[in-house]
């Protein structure tokens, strides 16, 4: 009978010691300091808008213009085909297009060599300088 009590007592002691080894949560001041450091190190955000100055048409000239005071040239536009090909026989004639804006300007024009009823996604980006490294 006393042996059962001893085992129960050891069992309780083991459970208590495992609870006392829980990792401590970070203090509020440490968390605040970490968040503050992250906001200092993250790059600033620049805002600009871009628009098609003409309606995209099959094999037509397409012009894209950038506006806004926060954008910094040079810019690029990436045109990505989206969805199924509109051509019969499942022929894919659309290609990914990567066009730099000429001379660091705010607009670019080019021929859109996509068949009628094509869908695509256009992404305009600007160069970012981050600690001496230029990234698009």
21 lies in some domain:
no
In a domain, residue 1? The reply is: no
pLDDT digits (tens, 9 = 90+) for 119-136: 999 999 887 655 555 454
Terminal CA-CA length for the chain: 77
Number of domains in the chain: 1
Is 75 contained in some domain? yes
pLDDT value at residue 133: 52
Kindly state whether residue 22 falls inside one of the protein's structural domains: no
Domain annotation covers residue 40: no
**Does 14 map to a domain?**
no
pLDDT tens by residue, 87-116: 999 999 999 999 898 887 888 999 999 999
Please state, in angstroms and rounded to a whole number, the distance separating the CA atoms of residues 66 and 77: 10
Residue 98: which CATH number?
A: 2.60.40
- CA distance linking residue 79 with residue 124, whole number of Å: 9
Q: Which domain holds residue 86?
A: 49-135
Model confidence pLDDT, tens digit, residues 42-90: 655 557 788 999 888 888 899 999 887 777 778 889 999 999 999 999 9
Q: Is residue 84 part of a domain?
A: yes
């Amino acid at each position: 009978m006393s042996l059962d009590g001893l085992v129960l007592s050891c069992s309780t002691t083991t459970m208590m010691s495992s609870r006392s080894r829980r990792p401590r949560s970070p203090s509020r001041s440490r968390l605040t300091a970490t968040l503050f450091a992250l906001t200092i190190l993250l790059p600033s955000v620049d805002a600009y808008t871009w628009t098609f100055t003409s309606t995209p048409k099959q094999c037509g000239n397409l012009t894209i213009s950038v506006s806004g005071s926060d954008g910094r040239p040079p810019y690029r536009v990436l045109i990505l085909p989206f969805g199924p090909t509109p051509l019969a026989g499942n022929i894919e004639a659309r290609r990914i297009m990567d066009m730099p804006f000429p001379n660091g300007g705010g607009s670019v024009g080019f021929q859109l060599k996509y068949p009628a009823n094509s869908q695509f996604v256009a992404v305009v980006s600007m160069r970012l300088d981050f600690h001496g490294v230029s990234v698009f």
